[in-house]
Homo-oligomer: A and B are copies of this chain.
């Protein structure tokens, strides 16, 4: 029984991981459910045993990852770090996510957060949760007199997240892979550019 359950969980995971590779390679709309099944090495219909629709696969992938990120932001927020270092931790987390699993991040960004007309719209509220948390960090830094108040926290959050996502998008479609050095440097550049603009 436990064995069977484990096997079942494995198949579900197998399908999700295969979906990441297929979505990253072909795009969500261009791939067929059978492509995912083939990549996972399972039969066509089994996908529908674990997921109610093709959409739900992407929803699952997005929410799994986004919730981890929200937790990471919350953790940074709750820490004793300076505002600048909180933002650096967040940028660092996102960039390290890309380093660790570029295909997954490609799917999240290309198919969800930037896909304003489809999944981006569906998950708009969830996506904005991240902006709101970042805005909270900025607002508190302003209240503490560390950041200047000319920039609204909401705008600051958009600019910060927008810069990070734009940088990742650039990597995603670059023909040459990014080396670790550039990944690290980018963390600094983001904080140097955005935070310096925010600080007194």
Where the two chains meet, the residues of A that have a C-beta atom closer than 8 Å to any C-beta of B are 27-30, 109-111, 114-118, 121, 124, 150-152, 155-156, 158-159, 161-163, 165-167, 169-170, 172-173, 186, 189-190, 192-198
B116 and A193 within 8 A (CB): no
The contact of A167 among B30, B155, B193, B196, by CB within 8 Å, is B155
A162 and B166 within 8 A (CB): yes
Closest to A161 in B: B166
Q: How many copies does the complex hold?
A: 4
Give the docked Cα–Cα distance between A124 and B170 (Å): 10
CB distance from A27 to the nearest CB of B (A): 4
Give the docked Cα–Cα distance between A150 and B189 (Å): 8
Closest to A170 in B: B158
CB distance from A33 to the nearest CB of B (A): 14
Give the docked Cα–Cα distance between A155 and B198 (Å): 18
Please name 7 further chain A to chain B contacts, defined as beta carbons within 8 Å, in addition to the given A196-B197, A197-B197, sorted by A numbering: A114-B115, A115-B115, A151-B193, A155-B193, A159-B159, A161-B166, A162-B166
Q: B residues within 8 A CB of A111?
A: 117
A155 and B189 within 8 A (CB): yes
